[in-house]
Amino acid sequence: MKYVSIDIETTGLKPEACQILQIGAVIEDTLNPMPLESLPRFNCIVEHDEYTGQPTALTMNSWILKILSGLENLSKEERLDYRKTHNIMPVGIVAKSFAMWLISNGILPTESNAPVKINAAGKNFASFDKIFLQMLPGWSSAIQIRQRIIDPAVLFMDWQQDSALPNLNECIRRAELEGTVTHDAVQDALDVIRVIRAATNNYHKPHAKD
């Protein structure tokens, strides 16, 4: 099975008022798990006309806002080069570009002009990332997310001790992996794949006990 691990960084928690700042996605093939550095990845910083948000999110993602602020006072030609260097996309083309990336990596629509249908993975994806993504211009006509989402938290739940699902940092710790959540969307998407691989023995079924 192929699935797409997706993470976003935003200006806040309210999809109706806040904006996506960065989208990171990584394609995983459970039948052919390649080295992490070889996995196809999508990365873009999203350009909007205006930005509104909440202090914690704006502070956390200040490095993205600094990159976006670099577009100011540039000529048209300089802006083109700057966008290319920093993977910046105007919000209006993000959904179409993401769909084209999926298609170019072998995730094809079932019929002509149909949305690309994907299996999605991500921490809190169903209750957060998906809602923001579906508000992007043209998203629903370009991409369809299957109803069942892969959330790694359930794989690392301590059913005796936990009062809530563990966050991604705790999943990384319980998987005995190095690193912590970086709040860079691509790295966080990769971390989701890392912990899923660890929890599933790299997708190999354990031998049945005698």
Q: What is the structure's pLDDT at 55? A: 97
Of 200, 116, 204, 95, give the one whose Cα is nearest residue 150.
Answer: 200
Instruction: Give the global pTM.
Output: 0.94
Q: What is the DSSP string of 162-210?
A: -SS---HHHHHHHTT-S----S-HHHHHHHHHHHHHHHTTTTPPPPPP-
Q: What is the structure's pLDDT at 206? A: 63
Amino acid at 49: D
Q: What angle do CA 135, 138, 88 make, to 5 degrees?
A: 80
With beta carbons less than 8 A apart as the criterion, state whether 52 and 13 touch: no
> Mind listing the pLDDT tens digit of every residue in the chain (210 residues)?
999 999 999 999 999 999 999 999 999 999 999 999 999 999 999 999 999 999 999 999 999 999 999 999 999 999 999 999 999 999 999 999 999 999 999 999 988 889 999 999 999 999 999 999 999 999 999 999 999 999 999 999 999 999 999 999 999 999 999 999 898 999 999 999 999 999 999 998 665 454
Q: What is the structure's pLDDT at 57? A: 97
